[in-house]
Amino acid sequence: MLRTGKSGRYRYYTCCTWARQGETGCEGRTVPMEKLDTLVAEHVEHRLLQPKRLEQILSAVLHPRKERA
């Protein structure tokens, strides 16, 4: 869930139960949005967007299309 601070100046991801009930509802963490977004984007880039991986994905998509044509 998105949570903000300082009138929207800072943005965070947090557990929605924690946001509604506080620490008694959940022991979850609050993570700065920019930090988590960067980590996820870097992970996707390093794990999924490698040339060999992209070749496999595109081949799997294009091969059946070519057979149908």
The pTM score is 0.60
Mean pLDDT of 42-61: 88
* Number of domains the chain is built from: 1
Helix (H) or strand (E) run with residue 5 in it: strand 2-5
Reduced to 3 states (helix: H, G, I; strand: E, B; else coil), residue 25 is: coil
Count the neighbouring beta carbons within 10 Å of the beta carbon of residue 3.
15
Give the model's pLDDT for residue 66. 67
Residue 49: pLDDT above 70?
yes
Phi, psi angle pair for 6, to nearest 5°: 55, 50
Identify the pLDDT of residue 63: 80
Q: How high does pLDDT run on average in the chain?
A: 86
CA dist 24 → 4, 15, 35, 50 (Å)? 20, 12, 26, 43
User: Stretch 26-48: mean pLDDT, rounded?
Assistant: 90
Identify the pLDDT of residue 69.
66
Range of the domain at 47: 2-68
**Spatial distance between the Cα atoms of 66 and 43, rounded to a whole number of angstroms:** 32
